[in-house]
A and B are shown apart, each in its own frame.
Chain A
Amino acid sequence: MIWDILIAVALVIGAVFTLVGSYGLVKIDRPMSRLHAPTKASTLGVGSLLLASILDAYSSGDGSLHEILVMAFLFVTAPISAHFMAKAHIHRGTVAAAPPTLESGETWACLDKDREEQPADTSA
């Protein structure tokens, strides 16, 4: 019984967060702010669904942990794809306000024309 409640709660939380992420994707009208909702909420939502799956496997007797792999992979890759999309936004100028300029004469990496010639990008 207690397992049922835990699984149901994890499922509902995951579903709600997934829905909130996609709702934010549709609702927010500024391109850069739009990145926030899906990268965070959807990732946690799917994480919670995977937690429900682990609990379900344990309640039915045969323990299963390989959902942790999917979870860890999603949590490691979500920031990287968000970072890439933010760079592409700045590069194409589709941001509501330009990023601030720095006092020390440095520029941001994706606006730096010399750096774009170099093949390796260690910042990603």
Chain B
Amino acid sequence: MIQIALVFAYVCIGLSLILAMWRLWKGPNVIDRVLALDTLVVNGIGMIVVFGISTGVETYFESALIIAMLGFVSTVAYARFVLRGNIIE
């Protein structure tokens, strides 16, 4: 049963990665693209977690943690760049 749920989760997350990618490509303005990148990062963390469950290897969670941190910092940096024109004052 876990195998079926894992395949379902892979399909759903892959589909949502494609949808976020579409918004990244189409996005009418720059903030939509930042939001799409943020969603891509969050979905990527989900994908890594599901992969970690299916392989049973613990090391993937460290990478999920690091990607979560980098994703947050990059989103804030992009938004701040749009707001102020520079990142570190």
Contacts and interface: CB of A to CB of B under 8 A. Distances in A.
A32 B82 CA distance: 16
Interface residues on B, range: 35 or more
Contacts, number: 159
Interface string B43-81: 101100110110010100100110011001001100110
A91 B6 CA distance: 42
Given A11-B6, A23-B19, A26-B22, A80 B31 contact: no
A56 B56 CA distance: 9
- Interface of B, secondary structure class, is helix
B89 A14 contact: no
Interface of B: 1-2, 4-6, 8-9, 11-13, 15-17, 19-20, 22-23, 28-32, 34-36, 38-39, 42-43, 45-46, 49-50, 52-53, 56, 58, 61, 64-65, 68-69, 72, 75-76, 79-80, 82-84, 89
